[in-house]
Each structure stands twice: as C-alpha cells, then as structure tokens.
Structure 1
Amino acid sequence: MLSLPLLSLPFLSRPGRAQPAADLFRVVTSQEINGLDPARSGYVFTRLQVLETLVGADDGGLPVPQLASAWTLSEDRLAWRFTLRPGARFHDGTPVAAAAVVASLERARAQTGLLGNLPIASLTAEDGAVVIRTTRPFAPLLAFLAHYSSGILAPAAFEDQAVRHLIGSGPYQVTRLLPPQRLEAERSAHWTGAAPAIARLSYLAAGRGETRAAMAESGQAELVAQLAPETVERLRRNPRLLIDTRAIPRTRLIKLNCASPLFSDPRARRALSLALDRAGMAATLLRSPASTATQLFPPAMAEWHVASLPPLARDLAEARRLLAQLGWQPGPEGILQRDGQPFAFTLRTFSDRPELPGLATAMQAQLREIGIAMKVAVVNSGEIPAGHRDGTLEAALMARNFSLVPDPLGTLLQDYGPQGGDWGAMGWSSPALVAVLEQLGATADPAARAALRGRAASILHDALPVIPVSWFDLSTAISRRVAGLAVDPLELSFRIAGSRWAG
C-alpha cells in the first residue's frame, strides 16, 4: 500500500517563484516522520487528517466528535461509552468496528506513553460501542483520547503487533511515504463525510528555518509552520502570503537534571532563573516583548496562568547571594568553584526550533555574568529524551507544548509524575504535586479544580524543576491560493479538509 524506498531528500533550490501543481496542497514543517507507529509519528498523521482519534478538540480544548460521534459517562463516573460514527470505514474499505478500535487502543495502552499511565481498568467492545472503564473517576479521559498516540488504525495495519501499513480512517489516505521527510496523500474513497475540496496533499520535513521561509516566499508550499521569528516580518511583506501569528499553550524552558549536585538545591535553580534576561531575549531575539515568561504557564492557558504569582525576573545580586549560600566562590577567570570543582555544565538544544540556538547563546553569556560556565551543544532533538533516559543529560533548552493533550493535565501527569518525563522533570518529584494532579483527575467541581490548578502552578513556580524562559507565538505562513483555512492553536490538525482553493 505504501512506497517506502530509502531515498534522500532532493536538493531544494531557491527560485524566485515556483509553479505549483494545480490541485496539490503542500505542507512544510520541521517535524520528521519517525516511522509508522502513531506513538512515534502520530503528530504528523493526525495533523494531516490521515489518522483519527476517538475524540478531537476545539480551539478552546473542549472535546468534539471524531471517530466517536457521541459518548456518555455512567453515574458512578467509572464507565465511558463511545458510539462510533455511523458508516465509518478504514482506508482499506473495512468498517470501523468497535473491536478494531479497542484492539488499536489496547496496543497503544501497552506501549510506553500516555494511555499506559491512565487509571484504565478495561477496554471492551459492547453492542457496537467502545466502553472504557476506569479504576477511579478520571475527568480528563476525553482529552487523552485526542492525543496523537491514540490514533486508530485498521486491523490490517498490524503484523505481529508492529505497524506495517498506515491504514487510518480520516478524509485523506497516504499514497506514498518516504521517511523521515516526505509523505503524499489523497482524498480517501471510503470517507463518508463531506468530500474535502483539496484533493491531494504533500508533506515535507525541512529542518532549517530559513529553508522553510524561502519555500513559503517562493510559492513552494501552501502552508509553512514553525517560522523563525526573524523571518516573520519579511514574510508579512509578501503579497502572496497570509501570516497567522497567535499565542499558544507552549513555553520555551530549561529542563535541568535536578539529581545533579549542581541543581539539586532549589536555591541553585532559582539563581539560574534570576540570571536570565528574559525581557531582553524576548524583545531582541524573538521580536515579541509580550512573550517574556513570568511563570511556566502563559496567559493563553487562562485556567492555569496564576496572575498573583510573583513574576520571574532578573536579579544578579540575589543570584550571587544564593550561590554564595551554597558554598560557591569565585575561582580562576571568575568561574565559581566549590570543593575544587567549577560550576560548569552542558546545555543541549536543537535547531528544529530555529530560535533555540540563539537563545542558548544569549543565556550562556548571561550565566557567565554570575560565574557559571555553560557550554551549548546543538544536537538532534531526540538526544534530549535519550539523555533523560540514560542519565547523561545535564540541561536542555526546548519548547514544551501543553496542548498535545487538550487538557494540560495530561502533559503535567506525563512530565511531573514520580519518575519525571522525557520532556519534563528530571531527578525531581514532589509528592504534594503528584497528589494535586491526581485530585484534579478525579474532581469535577469547577471551583475545586481551579484551586487545584493554582496549587500545582505554585509548586512548580517555587521549586523550578524546569525554568521558564519565554512563552510562544505560533506563526504560520499560508498561501493566498487557499481559502477557509483556520489555524489550530492546539496544533492537533492542519485542517486541510476544511479549506478550499481560492477563486
């Protein structure tokens, strides 16, 4: 069904203007296709509307039907019953049966990931519906089912529990796949919803931000995501492009190995935070003063942003005082020393987010002002979770998306549970925070949930297992050849099926 040759990406030139294929919608982002499994590459397949999840989410994170047309919750709040969309078929023409959905979810649950961490007692197919029973009330279950790792595949997609064919149920089906960079798809003949006006699409992973901007500029793509801040103003002047910029639930932050003697004391983490010139970096490097992070959760996350928290700010004198309390004293060339060892570490970051290396270099200079020697290593993004797992990671600068599970609780459970998370805490846990997050999962009362969210935000603000740097503006370039395309602030879908060709 799929073409999987081991081909390299063709050379991308920079012509003045490319002649687009009349009916081909071209998407360019930085995110590579790391295989067929939804756990690894579902963020591409769901955004292209090839795979569907049981439940989706609207712009505000509220659940909306996808493969499930409706759902109910039992009075004891332990059993969820999902009615499947009538007539839904997979791309191979087979019906989307409840048993197939259960099998796909069971496989996802058995893997390391979100579903495996949920209090699920059983998954069953009953009278044509999917029934999920939990061991305790768990209010955010619907949000977890919207995560890309929960994408539903047809039975024929699997061989010995491994994904061998990408057979989903969305409005588009894959016709060609060239990992890690290319994918082509077309309208599915078995889609029973409104036929998409866009008949064909392609996807390209281009790592360099300037390459992506050049492709938007020259007409080589209809949608380009993850634009570098320094290219946005230039692209705004292009009459063939619409630039959509909006604040989203994502934060650039420093992940620390809190088990390291350098960072195990919260005073050391506080000192690092106090050394950062967030406002200067937001204004000069990100071209967005409003993105200065004063706490972990941005105002775009209204339910989690706590206005009363004391804002994170720069104070070099206080940073030096805290480090002196911990026994750090100036040594040769001004680098702090303790017990004969310098305060020195390596921060990993990656260029998929084109602004990160520049921010890392700026922070390197800022930390040097208080006597900390930080080396910057620009690596593949996969080296951050790998370093978390093997214990070699000292620090990392990254961007954390709090909306891949539309309820941010999903990300927090993943990042700040007892074992921490690949993109969250490392060598740090808080029984108080774990208890708050578990209560949030079991609580439906709005006032109680608001109080618990505030408590969770306060714990993270005080302990700083990760250090917020800046909030995130999502900038997307859209060709004016396209009409009716609404950017998804949660980054769950490119929404191509709902758009059309202009004119």
Structure 2
Amino acid sequence: MVWGRPAVAGVAMVVSAVLVACSGPPGAAGGRQPRGGPNVLRVVGPFELHSLDPARSDGFFTRLRVAETLVDADGRGDLRPGLAAAWRVSDDQRAWTFSLRPDTVFHDGTKVTAETVAASLTNARGERGTPWGDAPVAAITANAGEVQVQLDRPYAPLPAVLAHAGTQVLAPASYNSDRTVKKVIGTGPYRVERIEQPSAIEVVAFEGWAGKKPDIERISYQAVGRAETRALMAESGQADVTLGIDPVSRQRVQRAAGVEIKSVTLPRTILLKVNAGHRVLGDLRVRQAVSAALDRKAMATALLRDPEMAATQFFPPSLSEWHQDSVPPLAHDPSQARELLAQAGWAPGPDGVLTRNGQRFEISLRTFPDRPELPVLATAVQAALKELGIRVNVQVGNSSEIPAGHKDGTLELGLYARNFALVPDPLVTLLNDYGPRGADWGAMGWSNAELARTLSDLADGTDAAAAAAGRQQVSGILQRELPVIPVAWYRQSAVVSDRVNGFTLDPLERSWLIDEVRWSS
C-alpha cells in the first residue's frame, strides 16, 4: 500500500480488517448483558475495575458519582467547590486551608469531619507516582474543623491536584487495618450496592445526599471489551448509555432507531511514545522522520472519520491556554523523512528495509484495544513507516505492557491516548510526564533541563504574562524534540437510548454526570 494523501482508501481497508478481527457477537467474552430491569440505567463501557484504591481505580467512583474530592471542576477545567466549600492560601504560598461543606455524611451514616478527611488524604499519599503522592506535601492536619495542607515549597496547582480522582475522600470504614481499601464508602449522590471485579458495578441513589436528588434510582455498569460488541448492544437496546464507540461503528449506529450520538472534544492526544534512549530512536533526526512520515489528515479522515482531529501539535485546541498557534505545525513530508534518515546513515537494503552498518531498521510498537481506535491507528503507522523502509511489528496487548516496557527498558514505540485533564490543570500531568526521570505515559530516555526549569517555575506560581510565555516555551520544546510524537486529537462519543434525557459528556472525563440523567416521559 502506498501511503500518502491519495491513500485514504488504503487506510479504510486497514481499519475494516482490524475491526473484523476485533469484533464479536453479543455475549462473546466481555459482552455479558448488564443486569437490571426497566428502572435501571444500563451503562456499558470498555473500562474494567482492577482496584478499589482511589489511586488505581481509574476514576470509576468519581465518574459514577459515588465519591467526591475536596475540589471539583467544571467542563472547562475551572475549579469549584467539592467537599470543600472554600479554600485559601497563606502569604508564603506554603499552607492551604480547606473549609468543609457543612452537615455532610458518608454512605454509612458517619459524619464527614476534618479529621476523617485528613486521614483519607493521608492514606492516599501512600501511592507514589500519582499527582497527590508526588505533590510537595509536608503535613495534612485537621484544625478547628478545617483541613490544612502544609507544603515543602510553593505549589500553585495544589487545589487542582485535590480535584484528581486519586484524592477522593472515603469513610474510615472503607479501610482495612493496614489502610488498604476494602470497600468504597463515599459521600456522593450514589452509593455502591454491588461490585464484581473487574466487570460489573451497581449503584443506588443515596438517601442522605443533601444536594438535588437524582431522577434515576439505580445504575448498572458493565465492562465490555470489544467495541463492535458494545455497538451491537447499543443498537439492540441492551444498553442505555454506551461509552467508547469506535468511529466506524458510530457511523452505523447513528442510523439506528431509538438512539442518539453524543460527542465532545477532549483534552486528550493520541501519542506515539518513543524510547529516546534507544540506539536508533535516540537520534532526533529519526524521530523527526517518523513524525514526517505520518499523514495525520488522512488517518484522521479515514480512521477517526474526523479530519479536524489530525494533531499538528502536542496540545489540542480544547486546551486553549496551552495550544499554540505560533509553533510550526507537524506536517506530512515523506521526502523530508527520507532525507533525514539518509542523514542519519540509513539506506535501503536488498528487500527495501533500511540498513545501517549491517543493522536492519526493525522496531516494535505496543498498543492496546481499550480505546478501539488505537489498534487501527497503529496499523496505519506501521504502513506509513513501511513506505520509508522501516519495519514495524505491531503488538496489541494489555495497556499495562506500555508502562512495563518503560520500566524494563524494552519498549521501543507505544501508542496510547494521554488525558491532560486527569488533574484539571495540565501542568501537573506535564510535571510528572516530562520530568528528569520521565514517566510511564510520558518521556522515555529523554529529558530537557530548560523544559524542567520552565515547568518548575510555572508550578511555583507566576504572573499571567510569565505563565503564558512559559506555556509557549513548553509547547515549542516538545514540538522540536519529539520525546513523544502527536498523532491525533480526541473526540469522545457515546450512544444514548431514547429511554433517557439529559445525558451529557464531561470534557474532562471526571464524571459520567449520571445524576443529571432523567427517564424520558
């Protein structure tokens, strides 16, 4: 297949082949129909629950509105009260005080106090490698009915960190004697009734919720691994809300009766993680050539059915403060890619595969099917690099294989979608992903002192003009150095049954907003 702008039809053939391989009938593995009757909202998605620990539960219990965090955020990322009604910071920027929402109770009836909140946040600090675990916190205490967080140094994004799902506040009875989580007892409008890990969760409305009462009493969530199976369940009425619909299925499902497609652009980018410490990929010219080989517009058009999602830079337009119109856009230029590879010493071998000093240019690319567009995009990347003479072995496995490959050094390329709003302030994610040591879902074998210094200055707090200049500098460095290569931006879609009204998608993916859904009249 010849890759380029005329190759959209070829890309479509790739996506069709992969979807056939990944599809299956309802009832196939991971495709069990969710439990419930006519008064149960049936939610289906690709995500499995592998831990009850807030730091490792992928935000399940904030998305299901079971647990709350001290700070909340709206769809634009603006912070707002959560369990904390208000907060303030000391003049030296090292002490933050959070006043709690009055008369709040946990699902087991115990009262929310400054002491129980401080204890829950202290437990969550034990999980390193998380935004909260890595924050420069010296002490968490309760004083005069307020929660106080003392810092080792100024850290401007602290309130945003306390909106991360890993800081959700749980009741004392949630913990074993060793402080591990044995059950999820939160404060949200729904409480947990049943969990069957990793695939099923049922929640019911909490009678003690002081806010607006949810219209829907019971919700059943079912993990279904195959995108095609989820689409068939949406079409057949086996699900009321279906998350994680691939672009091809979306086009088919939107013609079905009794359903509606909801979509929202997310602060998420599909990235090609590169092992910059690799004997071949450590050469900037090679990373630039890989980037130039990608016809992002054709890939977004044929595979995502959305040409606007072609990623010309690291940050999507939905992150208006970080997206930079001033940076030169990443462009498809196969001629430049070949020239860069030649400069790096690579020349075509007898079978067309590039060689240098007797070494063939063969690398592996790991990805996973949890997000259904990833395997098809990986196949398109494979085809694009093949045209340059680079042989890529695509390995579709578990999402854990990318961080595992980062840790043991075996990862060469990894394709995944990175959410920059896991914490409402993207700075927190960047500090973790592009620090001196890199991170599972960030840089590998690469660091940049100027970038680290700029991120640190932003975290210390600065005026608006200096912050804007710092964000522009960060974007420029990532665009030039390509420790990860942007492939596509991201639009999330859900299929919603006409049994319900009022469902919307949260652009930050912090919540499924199910407490706002109503039964159709």
1:470 aligns with 2:466: no
Q: Which amino acid aligns with 2:136?
A: P
Q: 2:105 aligns with which of 66, 83, 89?
A: 89
How far is 1:209 from its partner?
A: 0.7
How far is 1:18 from its partner?
A: 10
Contact 1:20 1:220 in 2 (8 A): no
Q: Quick one: structure 1 residues 228 and 70, their matched pair in 2 at CA, closer, same or farther if it must change by over 3 Å?
A: same
The DSSP-based 3-state class of the residue aligned with 1:64 is strand
Give the length in aligned residue pairs: 493
Q: Quick one: structure 1 residues 458 and 14, their matched pair in 2 at CA, closer, same or farther if it must change by over 3 Å?
A: closer
Q: 2:471 aligns with which of 453, 460, 475?
A: 453
Q: Deviations over 1:177-207 (max 9, x none)?
A: 0011100110123322222111111111111
Q: Which residue of 1 aligns with 2:172?
A: 155
Q: 1:45 aligns with which of 61, 72, 95?
A: 61
TM-score by structure 2 length? 0.92
Q: Which residue of 2 aligns with 1:414?
A: 432
Counterpart mapping for 1:175-190 below 5 A: 175-190=193-208
Q: 1:277 aligns with which of 295, 300, 304?
A: 295
The DSSP-based 3-state class of the residue aligned with 1:299 is coil
CA distance in 2, matches of 1:152, 1:36: 13
1:64 aligns with 2:80: yes
How far is 1:135 from its partner?
A: 2.4
CA distance in 1, matches of 2:381, 2:329: 19
Q: Which residue of 2 aligns with 1:242?
A: 260
CA distance in 2, matches of 1:23, 1:133: 47
How far is 1:110 from its partner?
A: 1.9
Q: 2:158 aligns with which of 141, 147, 158?
A: 141
CA distance in 2, matches of 1:405, 1:330: 45
Larger CA deviation: 190-199 vs 263-272: 190-199
How far is 1:227 from its partner?
A: 0.9
Let me know the Cα RMSD of the aligned residues: 1.9
Q: Which residue of 2 aligns with 1:490?
A: 508
Structure 1: segments with no counterpart, 5+ residues: 1-9
Q: Which amino acid aligns with 1:466?
A: V
Q: Deviations over 1:138-165 (max 9, x none)?
A: 2211111111111111111111121111
CA distance in 2, matches of 1:181, 1:19: 12
Q: Which residue of 2 aligns with 1:388?
A: 406
Contact 1:349 1:360 in 2 (8 A): yes
Q: Which residue of 1 aligns with 2:12?
A: none
Q: 1:221 aligns with which of 239, 248, 252?
A: 239
Q: Quick one: structure 1 residues 308 and 169, their matched pair in 2 at CA, closer, same or farther if it must change by over 3 Å?
A: same
Q: Which amino acid aligns with 1:303?
A: E
CA distance in 2, matches of 1:255, 1:382: 14
CA distance in 2, matches of 1:142, 1:219: 41
Q: Which residue of 1 aligns with 2:4?
A: none
The DSSP-based 3-state class of the residue aligned with 2:112 is coil
Q: Which amino acid aligns with 1:402?
A: F
The DSSP-based 3-state class of the residue aligned with 1:116 is coil
Counterpart mapping for 1:125-136 below 5 A: 125-136=142-153
Contact 2:34 2:222 in 1 (8 A): no
Structure 2: segments with no counterpart, 5+ residues: 1-25
1:337 aligns with 2:348: no
How far is 1:42 from its partner?
A: 4.3
The DSSP-based 3-state class of the residue aligned with 2:86 is strand
Larger CA deviation: 313-322 vs 466-475: 313-322
Q: Which residue of 2 aligns with 1:374?
A: 392
Contact 1:248 1:473 in 2 (8 A): yes
Q: Which residue of 2 aligns with 1:33?
A: 49
Q: 1:258 aligns with which of 246, 251, 276?
A: 276
Larger CA deviation: 419-428 vs 440-449: 440-449
Q: Quick one: structure 1 residues 119 and 72, their matched pair in 2 at CA, closer, same or farther if it must change by over 3 Å?
A: same
CA distance in 2, matches of 1:132, 1:158: 22
Identity, in percent, stands at: 51
Q: 2:383 aligns with which of 365, 368, 373?
A: 365
Q: Which residue of 2 aligns with 1:77?
A: 93
Please list every run of at least 4 consecutive aligned residues from structure 1 whose deviation after the TM superposition is greater than 6 angstroms. Answer: 17-20
CA distance in 2, matches of 1:269, 1:65: 43
Q: Deviations over 1:198-251 (max 9, x none)?
A: 111111111111111112111222211111001112222234222112221111
1:174 aligns with 2:192: yes
Contact 2:363 2:392 in 1 (8 A): yes
1:105 aligns with 2:127: no
Q: Which residue of 1 aligns with 2:13?
A: none
CA distance in 2, matches of 1:351, 1:125: 44
Counterpart mapping for 1:429-444 below 5 A: 429-444=447-462
Contact 1:14 1:215 in 2 (8 A): no
CA distance in 2, matches of 1:333, 1:20: 58
Contact 1:18 1:219 in 2 (8 A): no
